[in-house]
Amino acid sequence: MRYLTFALAKGRLAKTTLGLLEQIGITCEEMKDPDTRKLIFVNEDLKLKFFLSKATDVPTYVEYGAADIGVVGRDTILEEGRNLYEVLDLGFGKCRMCVCGPESARELLNSHAMIRVASKYPNIAKNYFHNVKQQTVEIVKLNGSVELAPIVGLSEVIVDIVETGTTLRENGLTVLEEVCPLSARMVVNQVSMKMEQERIRDIITKLAQLQSDTK
């Protein structure tokens, strides 16, 4: 039997995913050692491999088949636009992609004014403004703490993830429009889905069952 390889987005997402996989009998003891510097972990009995990568790289590993299965946020999947199958909404890491800014910027969004939009997600922002709203805007790519942009005058609005809304509130900003809902998703390489259909379907079915049991 060949190995099935999982690529997991580093951090909270990976921890929750490993917890879910454990509940369906997929464990990886090696990965639990907090001092390890290893990058790839193996479960010889189940013929599984796991690795952690930066979230934005997960779709890349899966598209090229270096991983058969990936777990990553829908934000990253949409932004990266890779060729892969999105097979399951894992139901955690729920949040929203939103257009945010000061209340005073609301009118700019209905006026077809030429505005600047700062975002860590330039493709999602471009698609929303150009294709959904059909408003021509200038997109400015940032790499974090995007809420700063409208405060210091870099942009009128931002496109960013809103979870609790605390970051916005504490900075005098608000949600102006919702772009789409987000959560953790399982993605599968297109060839693996055919070649390893049975094993992959079994994992998807068990995870989906687990979710409906805990609802």
Q: Which residues bind ligand PRP (CB under 6 A)?
A: 144-147, 160-167
Strand boundaries in the chain, DSSP class E? 4-9, 40-43, 48-53, 69-73, 85-89, 95-101, 116-119, 138-141, 157-162, 174-182, 184-188
- Choose between 42 and 175: whose C-beta lies nearer to ligand PRP: 175
Taking the complex as a whole, the smallest distance from the CB of residue 160 to ligand PRP amounts, in Å, to 5
- Choose between 146 and 207: whose C-beta lies nearer to ligand PRP: 146
Q: Are 75 and 56 within 8 A, CB to CB? A: no
What is the sign of the dihedral through the CA atoms of 32, 33, 35 and 40?
negative
DSSP characters for 27-69?
--GGGG-TT---SEEEETTTTEEEEEE-GGGHHHHHHTTSSSE
* Consecutive H or E run containing 71: strand 69-73
Taking the complex as a whole, the smallest distance from the CB of residue 170 to ligand PRP amounts, in Å, to 8
- Choose between 68 and 160: whose C-beta lies nearer to ligand PRP: 160
Taking the complex as a whole, the smallest distance from the CB of residue 171 to ligand PRP amounts, in Å, to 9
Taking the complex as a whole, the smallest distance from the CB of residue 157 to ligand PRP amounts, in Å, to 14
d(C-alpha 8, C-alpha 70), whole Å: 6
Q: What are phi and psi of 50, to 5 degrees?
A: -135, 140
- Choose between 2 and 141: whose C-beta lies nearer to ligand PRP: 141
Taking the complex as a whole, the smallest distance from the CB of residue 9 to ligand PRP amounts, in Å, to 12
Taking the complex as a whole, the smallest distance from the CB of residue 96 to ligand PRP amounts, in Å, to 9
- Choose between 34 and 144: whose C-beta lies nearer to ligand PRP: 144
Q: One-letter amino acid identity for 200?
A: I
Torsion of CA 99, 105, 108, 114, to 10 degrees: -80
- Choose between 33 and 163: whose C-beta lies nearer to ligand PRP: 163
